[in-house]
Structure 1
Amino acid sequence: MSTPPAADDGHHDVLSGIVRIFLHSNLSIILVIFSLIVGVTALLITPREEDPQIVVPLADVYVQFPGHTAAEVEQLVSAPLERMLYEIDGVEYVYSMSRDEQAIITVRFFVGQDRERSLVKLFKKLNENTDAIAPGVTGWVMKPVEIDDVPIVTLAVTGAADDSYALRRIGEELVERLAVVPQVSRAYVLGGQSRTVAVRLDPQALRSHRLTANEITEAVQGANAAVPAGSFTRNDETVQVEVRGGLASAAQLQDLVVGVFDSRPVFLKDVASVVDGAEEITNYVRHGWGPGRGFAMHVGSPSTKLGEQAAGHALDGGKSTVREDATGRGQEAGAHAHGEAKNDSTAISSPAVTIAIAKQKGANAVHVAEAVLARAELLKAEILPPDVDLVITRNNGLTADHKVNELIEALGVAIVIVILLLTIGLG
């Protein structure tokens, strides 16, 4: 008695075997769940940043050429250096800016070039051609530039009084405390007037005491220096000896002996005036309202004041303004969120200083910005006077979060569309 042939399940090749495994098991469901877990984890741990993490090696070379005009600096320093730096392999662009006694050369390499190798090639090229640089160049400094050097948060410190010196002191105090926030790489202050002790020489008094400006400079530097003076051993102990001069106040500087004339000591106050106060103004940063005031904004948006951002409370908006300082560099100023009598008109602006905060490479811009603003709000309540405001003028963490959310939403819509098409097409 013959037996009927077994039913043929189809081809027995490798591909058919793989398809059969997925059809008759729950492996497909497991892989889908695993893929979802991996995707959600990637969304949670990937840093949210507004600027793309692309490698573009870039460096600024600051060349000092004292005693020459901008035209001479361009002809003798900038143009020859541009031609020389273009010879480096991998360089895409070379820019230069010439000013009195200084040239700034910007070297940009192609995208994807190794950053360390590019900087080494630039440093090597400069050192190999020291003899080709114009005589009179006292030195240069090479400063690498990265995308993470761009501040993600800027705060404008502004007050009722037109005192940029006091605002600068407040800004310097704030920036030291904000710099310790985790994953903050760089924090600095723009604008205002720093405290300085200025020595203003009297030419007539110098001539009458037979002194020169160089002698005054050497005397001040020597009195404020600290140098090792050797060591000696006593009772099996080594004692280090250091000669230290210290000028702790302007009064000590005034009583400094800078020379001898007619067998009598000459004090600094005899040939100069010493002023302890604000430095001379080199740039201007001002804060003013823009015509966009009155629009509802998110918490932490630019042109809102810290300390008045209650959840669920409508915030007034404003446009940030940018004013250019005396050095040609743009400075940001913000706009208040709520109008006050001291600066309510859009035609009125007041002195301000800007605190700029940059994050570390690879850090989440959203988390860093939120931590900085939270810390700044605490500091405002602790150390700021009542008439001084902190205004957010830039918050890249907020914009980065918004862009990433839009991207995730677009990806979700695309996934739904693909699933619908597969369902309709395959049944």
Structure 2
Amino acid sequence: MNGRSSISAWCIDRPVATLLLTFALVLLGVVAFPQLPVAPLPEADFPTLQVSAQLPGASPETMASSVATPLEVQFSAIPGMTQMTSSSALGSTSLILQFTLDKNIDTAAQEVQAAINTASSRLPQDMPSLPTWRKVNPADSPVLIMTVSSAQMPANELSDYAETLLARQLSQIDGVGLVNITGQQRPAIRVQAQPEKLAAIGLTLADLRQSIQQTSLNLAKGALYGQHSVSTLATNDQLFHPEQYAQLIVAYRDGAPVHLKDVATVINGAENAYVQAWSGHQPGLNLVVFRQPGANIVDTVDRVMEALPHLEERLPAAVQVSVLNDRTQTIRASLHEVELTLLIAVLLVIAVMALFLRQWSATLIVSSVLAVSLVATFALMYLFGFSLNNLTLVAIVIAVGFVVDDAIVVVENIHRHLEAGDSSREAAIKGAGEIGFTVISISFSLVAAFIPLLFMGGVVGRLFKEFALTATSTILISVVVSLTLAPTLCALFMRRPQHPEHAAPTFGERLLAGYARLLVKALAHQRLMLGLFGLTLALAVGGYVAIPKGFFPVQDTGFILGTTEAAADVSYPDMIRKHQALAKIIEADPAVRAFSHSVGVTGSNQTIANGRFWIALKAPGQRDVSASEFIDRLRPKVAQVPGMVLYLRAGQDINLSSGPSRSQYQYVLKSNDGAALNLWTERLTERLRANPAFRDLSNDLQLGASVTRIDIDRQAAARFGLTTTDVDQALYDAFGQRQISEFQTETNQYKVILELDARQRGKAESLNYFYLRSPLSGEMVPLAALAKVAAPSTGPLSISHDGLFPAANLSFNLAPGVALGDAVSILERTQRELGMPASISGTFQGAAQAFQRSLSSQPWLILAALVAVYIILGVLYESFVHPLTIISTLPSAGLGALALLWLMGQDFTIMGLIGVVLLIGIVKKNGILLIDFALDAQRSRGLSPQAAIHEACLTRFRPIIMTTLAALLGAVPLMLGAGAGAELRQPLGIAVVGGLLVSQALTLFTTPVIYLALERLFHRRQAAATAARPIEN
């Protein structure tokens, strides 16, 4: 790219065109920036569907065998499904279906609906409705959680207001995808039958159910078509209030009517009587708001908050709505921190340039290139559909060092020609022309290091695709701007520097003089330098093997998720009392801003023995502990509540668990032998609990649920023409919260529930009042004549499946200082030590599974980056040998990154890995600057290899130091940064800073030695090949 034919010369000759085109580029970026969505992380949608099925009153075994299994058989035939899990509890089954990342979620939904339709003939006929599905995204957390509470209003009325006036209206706001209600008690009319009164007048629960079903209907009635008008027919066929149901005539005895109120109590209640939620200590519920895929989180939440006052005006004065967790607060704070980090990085880089160039015009030119490149990147981000998030902004921060590299190399070379006496224009043309190929080599080899990131699989690959492409875009833009705008501005504004004749040596000159002395010694002891390189390589490999490894750093989002677990046979009132005791402990902690909690079957909670806590902490500056430290502080306090365990985990922006989890990490055991699975799960759990590396370890078996078993005498039943189905139906009427009817209003549909009177509902003795009607004689047959209550037993509170097999889920957190990689090794070793049979298989799920996959791919990712860089350099230099010299700079960088991560107590996580990949792109720049100059000196001026590399080291010392310092100082704010999101950014900054420090200290001496060694090896082989060639006559 020498001479006037280069693109730089064209731009220098056309400054107006160059400036206008640059302005257009900047304008595109300025226009695009406000249009970019804002998010904590890039989009990482997992195509996932949740299927829910209800059969109130059905046991976990019934739900698993009669509902879950028929559905699983059909779902397993759907192509592209990677994981299918189910959990069946009393009256409900929830299935989670995950598909490959390239599966269209709408296509998957259609196939799931078709599978449900096919399975419907095998499902219980008395299910209130067919199973339903909804789209979920495990990687996407709620953007807003609000509490709706009232001290005076009944819970069912509060739920009705929350659903009809809030949830439905909020779901229509632009950007809102879904609004879930947890702790909801949907209004219903409950008919509480008194079995002794029914028996006294010869009625059964079946009689009562059929009578109610037939007297409250909403059927089509037609219309009157007259000569001049049409009139729609309407009747009072529906009943809406308990008083109306109480007046129903259910039978006649001795000519007198028997009203429903004579044999039952009719009340306003809830569909599920065993659900309760609180906002603090006040009864309430949660509104959980999710965004639509791709929607701007900040704009969505702003629109919700803007609409909220208008919605509150329509609510009764007794209802309060408050925000429990607003994710935009941490997102705004995190993005502000990154923006501040970017500003600091830019200022530090400019300071370095001013220190070395000692000319404000040169400093401002490089700063202009930096500004244009960064702003123009926003235009490409908009074009690619990216968002402003922690990773893309970190990519831009890191790119600050890369971007100025190109500009520094160009401007410094032009500056050197000015010092030699050339005019501004000639210096710009010569300097840019000489260095153009070097700039392209540096940038293209840097881009090559990012290529493997684009091919990473799974959710990690999706997260870092935006990171890699954003950084690549910035680098490629900087190449163009550095070779067009920078020379043009240099020709217009840079002048020959004026140095006093007897001026003291500058800082850069003193540094160069010291380096020159050390370089002579290094070249005189080449074997020692090669030995040092070998030692560095060995230490880098050993450090990688030895350093603790993790997945993603644990973030402090200021939000804590809790799951409670009591004895499997705990009563509903006892569960409430235990929850209230926990609530008092949590409220007393000074770090807590607000909290809510719930018990019963609601949302993802399927059993009475489990509950949920949502805890919002104060802002970081207003509390004395991090989220993890808060959990450690609270753990011994909540352990004082007898018969209750509270599992806590910090909410994360990256959530890879497809279902509810008690702790941060999950491990799943499965087998076709349920008894063996239960036995070995308990053994493994007990062994791991004794290991100090694990915290909050638990499994979801919960086998101690109380079971009251009724043995039916089939022969006795047959004598009366009755079957076991008749007995089951009678029990279901009494104890199943059976939905027997419904009524519609203008805004909603409500259920009518049949059950026993509250005094009889929890006692087995109430079975003595049960009667069934014989279809043979019509007489009343006491249940006691057909069945007897067996001795109490125990059973599972819930049943889990993974695929088509019974499964048990282990959840765990890690003790401080324990890496996920170590925990994985301990768990796998413990399984082997226990001698777990081969019929039981175990796999990690969620973040632990993603960690395992990323761990196995880490060496290949680093190797792929090295190979990509080698290929690009080999193509550019038309050489197999010299790219090896350039790549030889990398082991010291890897060693420095690992060493500093270890010294600062950081695991080698995905963010550290990305830092190492970045170093592969950054550090080889030193080698390129040296090798490019040395090769040119050998070829054009005939210098010896040693003279060429010696001159290259001294001539390119200043740009090497400047560019390295620029990259290093660009990463320092990431390493030292605090505030929201710092946990994600710090490992990357530490890796880059450590790698640059060590590599800069070593490669300036080892690279010239390796260059000479490879030159000697190459020429020796070339000479041998020439000598072996036969002489032609």
Question: What TM-score comes out, normalization by structure 1 length?
Answer: 0.68
- The CA deviation at 1:82 is 3.8
Matched, 1:97 2:29: no
1:221–1:40 Cα change, 3 Å: farther
Q: 1:363 aligns with which of 295, 310, 314?
A: 295
3-state SS, counterpart of residue 50 of structure 1: coil
What does residue 111 of structure 2 align with? 121
Matches within 5 A, 1:102-251: 102-128=92-118, 133=122, 138=127, 140-147=130-137, 151-158=142-149, 164=155, 168=159, 171-172=162-163, 173-175=165-167, 178-179=170-171, 181-191=173-183, 193-251=185-243
Structure 2 CA distance for aligned equivalents of residues 232 and 157 of structure 1: 46
User: CA separation of 1:60/1:140 partners in 2, compared to 1, >3 Å: closer, same or farther?
Assistant: farther
Q: Secondary structure at the match of 1:229?
A: coil
| Separation in structure 2 between the aligned mates of residue 253 and residue 84 of structure 1, nearest angstrom | 42
Equivalence for 1:299: none
1:401 corresponds to which of 310, 328, 332:
332
Per-residue CA deviation, residues 217-272 of structure 1 (Å, 9 max, x unaligned), is 33333333222234443215444434441324322222222233323332222222
> Which amino acid in 1 is paired with 2:145?
T
**Residue identity in the other structure for 1:32:** T
Which structure dedicates a bigger proportion of its chain to strand? 1
> Superposed, which structure 2 residues align to 1:28-427 within 5 Å?
28-50=18-40, 52-63=42-53, 69-75=59-65, 77-79=67-69, 81-82=71-72, 84-128=74-118, 133=122, 138=127, 140-147=130-137, 151-158=142-149, 164=155, 168=159, 171-172=162-163, 173-175=165-167, 178-179=170-171, 181-191=173-183, 193-277=185-269, 281-288=273-280, 349-377=281-309, 383=315, 385=317, 389-406=320-337, 409=342, 410=394, 413-414=397-398, 416-427=400-411
The SS at the match of 1:227 is coil
Change (3 A) 1:66 1:45: same
Contact conserved, 2:66 with 2:124, CA < 8 A, in 1?
Answer: no
**Gapped regions of structure 1 (runs ≥ 5):** 1-8, 289-348
Alignment check: 8 A CA contact 1:61 1:140 kept? no
Contact 2:70–2:119, Cα closer than 8 Å, also in 1: no
Does structure 2 conserve the Cα–Cα contact (< 8 Å) formed by 1:153 and 1:396? yes
- SS for the counterpart of 1:144 is strand
List per-residue Cα deviations over 1:92-117 (Å, max 9, x = no partner): 11111122344322211011211222
Distance 1:114 1:32 in 2: 40
Residue identity (%): 21
Residues 100, 421 of structure 1: alpha-carbon distance in 2 compared, 3 angstrom cutoff? same
Question: What secondary structure, in the 3-state scheme, does the structure 2 residue paired with 1:352 have?
Answer: strand
Q: Cα gap change, 1:372/1:222 in structure 2, threshold over 3 Å: closer, same or farther? A: same
CA RMSD in angstroms, aligned pairs only: 3.7
Distance 1:23 1:414, change over 3 A: farther
2:286 aligns to what SS in structure 1?
A: strand
C-alpha deviations, 1:53-102, integer Å up to 9, x for none? 34422122334567753234434553565455334321111111122344
Residue identity in the other structure for 1:420:
V
Match of residue 370 from structure 2: none
User: In 2, Cα distance between the equivalents of 1:170 and 1:239?
Assistant: 34
SS in 2 for 1:284: strand
Return the letter of the residue paired with 1:223: T
Name stretches of at least 5 consecutive residues in structure 2 with no aligned partner.
Answer: 343-393, 412-1033
Larger displacement relative to structure 2 (122-131 or 87-96) = 122-131
Instruction: Report the residue type matching 2:206 in the other structure.
Output: N
Is the CA contact 1:367–1:397 (under 8 Å) kept in the aligned structure 2?
Answer: no
| Aligned partners of 1:51 and 1:147 also within 8 Å | no
Structure having the larger proportion of residues in helix: 2
SS of the residue corresponding to residue 283 of structure 2 reads strand
Give deviations 1:262-286, integer Å, cap 9, x for gaps: 2333222222222235676423323
Among 12, 24, 38, the alignment partner of 1:23 is: 12
> Judging changes above 3 Å, is the alpha-carbon distance between structure 1 residues 193 and 113 closer, same or farther for their aligned structure 2 residues?
closer
Amino acid at match of 1:85: F
Q: Is the 8 A contact 2:176 2:289 kept in 1?
A: yes
Question: Residue 49 of structure 1: SS of its match in structure 2?
Answer: coil
How far residue 212 of structure 1 moved from its aligned partner, in angstroms, is: 3.1
**Letter of the structure 1 residue corresponding to residue 404 of structure 2:** L
**CA distance in 1 between partners of 2:184 and 2:136 (Å):** 26
Separation in structure 2 between the aligned mates of residue 375 and residue 54 of structure 1, nearest angstrom: 29
Q: Distance in 1 between matches of 2:218 and 2:23?
A: 68
Distance 2:406 2:6 in 1: 23
One-letter amino acid of the counterpart of residue 123, structure 1: Q
Are the structure 2 counterparts of residues 28 and 406 from structure 1 closer, same or farther at C-alpha, using a change threshold of 3 Å? farther
- The answer to whether the 8 A contact 1:66-1:136 is kept is no
Equivalents in 2 of 1:425, 1:416: separation in Å? 14
Change (3 A) 1:65 1:165: closer
Paired AA for residue 30 in structure 1: L
Cα 1:79/1:232, change in 2 over 3 Å: closer
Contact 1:91–1:109 (8 Å) recurs in 2 = yes
Aligned residue identity for 1:260: Y
Counterpart of 1:39, as a letter, is G
Contact 2:67 2:124 survives alignment (8 Å): no
* 8 Å contact kept, 1:198–1:274: yes
CA contact (8 A) 1:94 1:105 kept: yes
Distance 1:272 1:55 in 2: 51
- Superposed CA offset, 1:21-72 (max 9, x none): 4332233323322222222333211221336434422122334567753234
Quick check: 1:224–1:246 contact (8 Å CA) kept in 2? yes
Paired residue type of 1:153: L
Contact kept in structure 1, 2:71 and 2:119, CA below 8 Å: no
Q: 1:250 to 1:286 in 2, by over 3 A?
A: closer
1:189 aligns to what SS in structure 2? strand
Following superposition, the deviation at residue 124 of structure 1 comes to 3.6
Pick closer, same or farther for the CA change 1:267–1:104 going to 2, 3 Å: same
Letter in 1 for 2:327: N
Indicate how the Cα distance of structure 1 residues 233 and 350 shifts in structure 2: closer, same or farther if over 3 A, else same: closer
Q: CA separation in 1, counterparts of 2:223 and 2:123?
A: 44
How far apart are the structure 1 equivalents of 2:46 and 2:262? 56
Structure 2 Cα separation of the partners of residues 186 and 151 of structure 1: 9
Q: Distance in 1 between matches of 2:92 and 2:224?
A: 47
Counterpart AA for 1:371? R
Change (3 A) 1:246 1:186: same
Equivalent pair of 1:359/1:365 in contact (CA under 8 Å): yes
Other structure's SS at 1:228 match: coil
SS in structure 1 of the partner of residue 221 of structure 2: strand
CA distance in 1, matches of 2:80, 2:316: 50
Instruction: Give the letter for the 1:22 counterpart.
Output: C
Deviations 1:346-396 (A, max 9, x none): xxx44332122233333221122123234435655785648x654322212
